[in-house]
Structure 1
Amino acid sequence: MDEPSPTSDPASPTNQFGSLNDLAHELASLEDLASRGSWRSIVDKVSRARSLNLLTRPHDHLIYLSYNVLALSKLRRFADASNEINTLDDFNSHYYKYETYPQLYPNRSGSMIPFSLRFIHAQLPLKLGNRQEGLDRFYLLLKFIREKIKEKESNNLHDSVGIWKRRENFVLNCLIGHHLGDKEFSLCLDLIKDLINRDYLDPVLVSKLGHIQMQIGDIEGAKGSFNRVETMLNERKNDEYSFLSEVQFRNLVNRNKALVYLVGKDYVSAVREYEECIERDHTDVVALNNKALCLMYLRDLSDSIKVLEKALERIPTIALDETLVINLCSMYELAYVNHSEIKRTLNNWIIHVAPDDFDASCTRV
């Protein structure tokens, strides 16, 4: 799951300024570089701004530090990112509150720390091999988010409640992913069911419950979860689950159905479900990747390779996913004697079009 943007925080003073560049020095340029995956350029830009003393306000320093930490993390320079984030005091320090600087930020209060920085702070120990410390930080972040939700609810700040609930969901998904990696299924189920029992009906979360039930062999339970998602689609009101478009919601339902067929080794039916997804949205990389895998299981290597190659050709910025590339290279190895040459050609193309954080070693050249 991608890290949130360094400026994605309701505490950021976006409403007070006319443009991104008013929010922080040349912030529009930083956001543009991040959207293109130009992480090395961000590190260079931050270094230059600091050396020339271009950052004058407290939140300038914090936002540039956040982008620098994010860029270093994307470039897998986790020790450098950790050292950078450790230059800050306690996130709750008065140094990082707007009200400490009333002349600079009149009529503003609260923390300047972007949510993304709190998230990366939790994530870094896991990247550095300190699993328990990372999990501890994630659970502390979850506690922090839930306190914010209570605070916003008590003040009837409904828009902010929605933002913080999405963050709660985001962090929970990260925790679930880490526990899944260590096959701690009961913990994953507890985390999801806790949210669902509190009437937090997120169709993506209920789908993830079904995926976990599949992994532990509870096929009927998984089907029940997937049916619940389909019911949510059919019964939703106009503004319900607004974070999912109609197409995204319908594709989620089709992918859930396809997974049931996959487990039953009915690859033809699974392909049909994935094709429905692709017809609605040709950028659905999960459906494209899984359709190709199903074709491979059906011993149609030629078509499975075509599916992935066409995806990379049509939508390179979206389809350039390490899992998809690994699968394509595996298919090359199965299909062609001269697969090394074909993979080298793919690798050279990736080097020219991929963002800085793409791991080109996944081509196994």
Structure 2
Amino acid sequence: MSLPSSDAQTVTEHENTDSVNSYNDLCYDLSSLQDLACRGSWRSILDKVAQARSGSLLSKPHEHLVYLSYNAIALTKLRRFSEAVAEVELVEKGLDIYRYEMHPHHYPNRHGSMVPFVLRWLHAELPSKLGKPHESLDRFYTLLQFIREKLSNCLENVPRQVWRNRECLVINSIISHHLSYKQYGVCLDLMKDLINGETNDSIASAILWSKLGFVQLQFGDLEGAKGSFGVIEGIVKDLKGENETEIEIMIKMKNLVNRNNALMFMVEKDYASAVREYQECIDRDSSDVIAINNKALCLMYMRDLSDSIKVMENALERIPTSALNETFVVNLCSMYELAYVNHSDIKKTLGSWIARVAPDDFDTSCTRI
């Protein structure tokens, strides 16, 4: 599950972190929580939160909220959704308490909510994990309205961009839910709204056009998808790589063009051409997991199971952190089942390796052992 960023820069909606020297100046031992989250050590986060709470180590209201946020994220990552809901509801029931003006001795001259945005996002997303998808959609639309009210009141450029990023995140969440119901018309309208709003960021626009093309493919509008992907090619042609950061961005954008071209070839069942496009991506960036995964799938469709398996296994050996995700493993296990009579033994070996290196939230059932 993709969650909003929970770094220290987004701990609160009005917090100014420019004057702090480290994450730990903002909240008790926050850097440790950050490190555990980056490593996917979600069970350790639960332990750390429990220790901080039992030891009365959290002295300010915003510290309680930050630890509660990490706890809710960890529970969600571990698919303990009912417990995550219980955490989020603690905040929902006490929203008035978590306002700066209610604690003037801690936050003089501050006002507004100190609730981290990730809790608002979880409040919207979690019902869908408990069999209530329509409730999630309703909450996401309410959250979108809340964000747009903030945008209309933002006077400074930096906070406005923060809220703009959140608006994009929520709209993408809404699109994902509508896609699951095959409500493509709504998705198209939402995507076009997003694209119209991205007037200054060519990279963000390219990514949005790519998503629009993908949605168009979902309901068979091949010409529309080609047009959307064509817009991206025009954007990428204008990019210049004059420093390391710009070169990295250019590589990612060129790979986006190649992957979109390959996707069109896959729709037309021209798998050999798709493989060439994906190989260009891999030659440019050997850690492009999407290209690696899809190249292997194309080889499988071409009945070259031996090479498709080699592509997947080599990626797991070279870039385990990037390649180790459930979709990648499901595809590899499907190839094992097609290629080998003793696939159960091979999958058990893979499962043992995953148990040693995977983050806590990895779903080991994807091996289908």
What TM-score do the two structures reach when normalised by structure 2?
0.92
CA contact (8 A) 2:240 2:250 kept: no
Match of 2:123, as an amino acid?
Answer: H
1:202 aligns with one of 183, 205, 211:
205
CA gap 1:163/1:18 in 2 versus in 1, 3 angstroms? same
CA contact (8 A) 1:12 1:114 kept: no
CA gap 1:237/1:282 in 2 versus in 1, 3 angstroms? closer
1:302 pairs with 2:302:
no
SS of equivalent to 1:88:
helix
Aligned twin of 2:173: 174
Aligned twin of 2:291: 287
1:68 pairs with 2:67:
no
Match of 2:257, as an amino acid?
Answer: V
1:226 aligns with one of 229, 241, 245:
229
Distance 1:175 1:225 in 2: 21
Match of 2:162, as an amino acid?
Answer: I
Match of 2:97, as an amino acid?
Answer: Y
1:11 pairs with 2:14:
yes
CA contact (8 A) 1:97 1:111 kept: yes
1:312 pairs with 2:326:
no
Aligned twin of 2:40: 37
SS of equivalent to 1:116:
helix
Per-residue Cα deviation, 1:63-103 (whole angstroms, up to 9, x for no partner): 00000000000000000000111112457x44222233333
Aligned twin of 1:189: 188
Aligned twin of 1:46: 49
SS of equivalent to 2:298:
helix
CA contact (8 A) 2:241 2:250 kept: no
Deviation of 1:224 (Å)? 0.2
SS of equivalent to 1:12:
coil
In the TM superposition, structure 1's runs of 4+ consecutive aligned residues that sit over 6 Å from their partners are: none
Aligned twin of 1:151: 153
Distance 2:209 2:141 in 1: 21
Per-residue Cα deviation, 1:193-228 (whole angstroms, up to 9, x for no partner): 222344556211111111111121111110000001
Provide structure 2 residue ranges, at least 5 long, that are not aligned to the other structure.
none
Aligned twin of 1:139: 141
1:323 aligns with one of 327, 338, 350:
327
Deviation of 1:18 (Å)? 1.8
SS of equivalent to 1:245:
helix
CA RMSD of aligned residues (A): 2.0
Per-residue Cα deviation, 1:4-57 (whole angstroms, up to 9, x for no partner): 233452533422422111111111110111001010111111111111111100
Provide structure 1 residue ranges, at least 5 long, that are not aligned to the other structure.
none
Distance 2:161 2:92 in 1: 29
Distance 2:48 2:198 in 1: 45
Distance 2:52 2:218 in 1: 49
1:346 pairs with 2:350:
yes
SS of equivalent to 1:53:
coil
2:130 aligns with one of 103, 125, 128:
128
1:260 pairs with 2:259:
no
2:98 aligns with one of 84, 96, 99:
96
Distance 1:114 1:364 in 2: 37
CA contact (8 A) 1:325 1:362 kept: yes
CA contact (8 A) 1:6 1:117 kept: no
SS of equivalent to 1:204:
helix
Aligned twin of 1:117: 119
Match of 1:258, as an amino acid?
Answer: A
Deviation of 1:238 (Å)? 8.5
Match of 1:203, as an amino acid?
Answer: A
What TM-score do the two structures reach when normalised by structure 1?
0.93
Match of 1:124, as an amino acid?
Answer: L
SS of equivalent to 1:178:
helix
1:216 aligns with one of 206, 215, 219:
219
Match of 1:2, as an amino acid?
Answer: S
CA gap 1:302/1:12 in 2 versus in 1, 3 angstroms? farther
Matched pairs, number: 359
Deviation of 1:355 (Å)? 0.4
Distance 2:31 2:109 in 1: 25
Distance 1:238 1:286 in 2: 23
